[in-house]
Structure 1
Amino acid sequence: MRRADRLFQIVQYLRGGRLLTARMLAERLEVSDRTIYRDIADLIGSGVPIDGEAGIGYLMRSGYDLPPLMFSRDEISALVAGARMVRSFGGAAMALAAEEALAKIEAVLPPDLKDRPAGVAIHAHDAGALSDADRAMVDRLDRAVDRHLKLTLDYRDAEGAATQRIVRPLGLWFWGKVWTLIAWCELRDDFRMFRIDRIASAADAGGFRSERDKTLSVFFQREVDHCRN
């Protein structure tokens, strides 16, 4: 969990009005007591009205609420354009999440920026580039990446030859019309990229633990080195 997310969660827990100890917060957020003490001190220093002390517990004075999100006009344009692209070219679950995120952003915008999202003149239309099956596969692969799940892929290469691969999904790349899965292929014992429109099926094949030489960052660095040479 990012530190910013953890601080937000601490505020949410303390807004419940109950006295919570550092140990209780640490267990909920899966961090050390020392981390909670440091986070509480930083929140108090930034003006959040938290009362209490170490060894006794903490609570928040009533009436406090988080300040509204503040975005510049350019930031709103970027968020809206990105959400529209995800809605047109992402998986079905991604598209729904993009819609919900836009609604949440619009709900907290100040009055002078309320009309900004509707005025963004950047749109995206897939023109049938992605089928419903492709959208479902994007979501399927995205979940596997997030949960560190190996997959058994039924795949057809560029020549149409069928093959079956057990892979460790690492990330997804979008190339304008085509999504590809970046994965560690256990058959080839190397990184490989698989076009999702050539994946006939993807079945769970158990979990995997990240290994230092089989990560997305290692793949990226190898690609950079290859381009330089």
Structure 2
Amino acid sequence: MTHYIAYGAIAISFLLGIYWRNSQMVYLAMMGIVLGGALIAFAGCASQPPPQPVPVAVATPAPKPPIPDDPYVGLPADVADAIRNNQSPSFHHGITWIWPYSPDLQYPLYCQPLHVTEIRLQPDETTDRHNVQLGDSTRWGILIGAHDVKLFPRGTNVAITVPGSQQTIPADPNMTTNMVITTNRGHQYVFNPVKIGKPLTQAVSFYYGDEVRTQYAARQAALKQEAQVQ
């Protein structure tokens, strides 16, 4: 705006200078005004800020899909091999039976008086007293841990004497029952029969073939998608 006013002043001063050019003093005064206006005009032009650069939109790359962990990592080699080959055998590792999980299977438990049988759940799997059901809670007892359930007979099918106490537990012929465990992962384990017998089932755990294969397929799909993005 300033430079427009200065340009107008220059023009008027120039015209007046021509009109009064015969008067040297007036002419010099007019020329001074012209020069002053020119300086103001140039100063106004110099004070104008440079134009701001137009922001350029930068495309944000799409986030990479998360890659699921390999479900085979951490599994015993024989268990992993069985799952890959769509097989479901039982395995005996030390004192532990490893069974294939299915809600449609019934698993036998052979217990002994004065011994505890441990049912091991997954590290992220829990249950509580409302979700562990015993057919005969009078003759059988349970202890629920963070990720396991311990089962023991309160009685015996043959009379036994407790060592060191001289106490005899009379025989009870009805030491057979069943048990159902439901967990936070939606698994339901059915144990039947649960009875006193040999060989003693000291500990059991499970593997989950269908779940592992599903998780592995999801991992492969995520890896393939990541390769296509790259």
Settle same-fold status: TM greater than 0.5. Answer: no
TM-score normalized with structure 1 length? 0.23
TM-score normalized with structure 2 length? 0.23
The structure, 1 or 2, with the larger RCO (C-alpha pairs under 8 Å, 6+ apart) is 2
Determine which structure has the larger helix proportion and give its number: 1
